């Protein structure tokens, strides 16, 4: 399955979660529900996947944690914020670069219409 096919499933699942829960909950609630929906679709995922940072001779094992990594291909970063900032975008781009991934989704559940809370990043 390609990254694009996976992302379509992810977005559909995220819309389902948002449709049922609406905005206003903690990020962890959306994360659990999205993982549930993705597993129902038969996708393999890692929640809170550690992403080490390598600096010269040092490997920092707990450098970052990806909210959800789907099929070892697509990074999902979840937010419940008023608006995305440049820092949120930089966070996803950093995960893509450090992990060698091609596609990332930044999903903000704190919006009235979820399609307005999704940003797609391609490396």
pLDDT in tens, the chain (123 residues): 999 999 999 999 999 999 999 999 999 999 999 999 999 999 999 999 998 888 888 888 777 899 999 999 999 999 999 999 999 999 999 999 999 999 999 999 999 999 999 999 999
* pTM for this predicted structure: 0.93
Burial of 69 (0-12, 13-18, 19+ CB in 10 A): buried
Please count the residues of the chain. 123
In this prediction, residue 55 carries a pLDDT of: 83
Q: Which domain holds residue 74?
A: 3-122
Which strands, in side-by-side order, build the sheet including 58-70?
Answer: 45-55, 58-70, 74-79, 103-108, 118-122
What CATH number has the domain bearing residue 16? 3.40.1350
- Count of structural domains within the chain: 1
What would you report as the CA-atom Rg of the chain, rounded to the nearest whole angstrom?
A: 14
């Amino acid at each position: 399955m390609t990254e694009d096919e996976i992302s379509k499933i992810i977005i559909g699942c995220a819309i389902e979660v948002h449709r049922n829960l609406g905005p206003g909950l903690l990020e962890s609630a959306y994360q659990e529900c999205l993982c549930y929906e993705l597993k129902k679709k038969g996708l393999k995922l890692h929640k809170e996947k550690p992403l080490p940072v390598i600096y010269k001779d040092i490997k920092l094992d707990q450098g970052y944690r990806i909210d959800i990594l789907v099929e070892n291909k697509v990074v999902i970063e979840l937010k419940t914020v008023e608006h995305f900032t440049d820092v949120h975008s930089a966070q996803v781009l950093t995960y893509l670069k450090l992990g060698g991934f091609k596609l990332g989704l930044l999903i903000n559940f704190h919006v009235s219409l979820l399609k307005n809370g999704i940003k797609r990043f391609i490396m």
